[in-house]
Amino acid sequence: MRLSSGQEDISRPLFVSAFVIATCGLIYELIAGAMASYLLGDSITQFSLIIGIYLSAMGVGAYFSKYISRNLIERFVEIELAVAIIGGFEAALLFTSFAYSSAFQWVLFGLVFIIGMLVGTELPLLIRILEKQTDLKELVARVFFLDYIGALAASLTFPIVLVPYLGLLRSSMAFGILNAAVALWTTFLFRAPRAVLLRLRILSGLTIVALVIGLGGASWFEKTIDAALFADPVVFHQRTPYQKLTLTHRGGDTRLYINGALQFSSVDEYRYHEALVHPTFVNRVSASNVLVLGGGDGLAVREILKYPEVEKIVLVDLDPEMTRLFRDHDILSKLNQEAFQNPKVEVINEDAFTWLQRTQNQQFFDIVIIDFPDPNNYSLGKLYSNHFFRMLRKILHEDSVLSIQSTSPMFSPNSFWCIAKTIAHENFHVKPYHVYVPTFGEWGFILASPQSLETKRSFLDSLKFLDANIYNAMFHFPKDMTRNN
């Protein structure tokens, strides 16, 4: 194959190809990292591994490109189509392997390596195709400039546009189509035997058709995978910029999953939320201003609103889609008794750590309810740190009371007692306690205050679970859940 026209006409579209190649390659890398983080947790480890494997694979591909010595343009188109197919169906392959096999990580790292190697082969081939048409110094500068700019475009587009509006599955296929389109238009830039061009154009067309069909069937595929992952029928799912929300419903049991992990079951969530909220109130004579950190489902707010003396509740939760869902969804708003419609409630969608940094010493709260996910990665770990509780101390009165969900003292005893120790280190009086929630098993909480804690009033009669006897029993730990250090 050879160039079909003059240097300038050909070099410009091929430089655009370099931009597209870089953008698509990084999108596939980000999709792999996001899926690994959602499905496996520990985002720092997952992204570190994927970036390392992808970049090293690009190096392998660049090295082996030297062995391609003939029909460079034909090979370039074929490699571009291979990237389109593998990258385009990357998310679908990963979801399938996670749902139906135990080899998810092998598939994950294998796909990342193959895509990285193919992308690493493409750019050297592109440079070699253009080297006789463009000054080498200018060529290298422009190709690498566009490569890095393409990476920037991908890194900006992915969190702002792709994840919120397309999701990982559709983004993967959409950029596969873009890769295949690059391959197709490349066949019109060069002269070659008719049979070669026809073969490449048919392959390009078939690839585009396959990916368009996949894009059209994305909703069906997502429902099929969800049905395989969850025991109960999925009635709602949404991927937000921060997490994947899935709602299942069977009989009288509604369950919320975030990134595949169960958050609550409507059958017994009242045990958890009564234990989280009401111990703080019985340790104060009254409370008018209450802060809820996390708790975007509004279930803790529902419990707080049972106290008529409460004048204002500020809820800080990162994900606006989470709070919107629990405000507008019929089943969920009924579950939290339309807590987010109450005029006493102010919802702030912001990272709690950032909000606390800005708010300390400006507002003061009588009670703080903290309902964060377990600290199983770095970004969540900061919400259980000394610095976090030091900042929290600055928005409390001396007689303020807080409670925090603190994972299971049965299954994660080191984490549970570490949280208690961290809070105590910041000059809080702490009282660890636990409760049995059938869906989760034994679950732990920490009650804390700048001053000594003591019961100052009785429990509400309207509670389903908690009373004085159960409350007193919650602070006693059996031998297999006691502090081990």
Question: Cβ(349)–Cβ(380) under 8 Å?
Answer: no
Task: Supply φ then ψ for residue 136, to 5 degrees.
Answer: -60, -45
Pseudo-torsion of CA 106, 107, 113, 116, nearest 10°?
A: -160
Residue 81: CB partners within 8 Å, gap ≥ 6? 179, 180, 183, 203, 204, 207
Q: In what order do the strands lie in the sheet with 261-265?
A: 234-239, 244-250, 253-258, 261-265
Residue 52: CB partners within 8 Å, gap ≥ 6? none
**Residue of 226, 317, 366, 371 marked catalytic:** 371
* Nearest Cα to Cα of residue 121 among 82, 80, 65: 65
Rounded to a whole number, what is the largest CA-CA distance in the chain? Answer: 90
As a whole number of angstroms, the distance between CA 104 and CA 6 comes to 48
Q: How far is CA 235 from CA 33, 112, 192, 218, 383, in A?
A: 27, 32, 53, 16, 31
Question: Cβ(20)–Cβ(175) under 8 Å?
Answer: no
* Nearest Cα to Cα of residue 396 among 305, 303, 289: 289
Active site residue 147: no
Question: Cβ(85)–Cβ(176) under 8 Å?
Answer: yes
Catalytic residues: 371
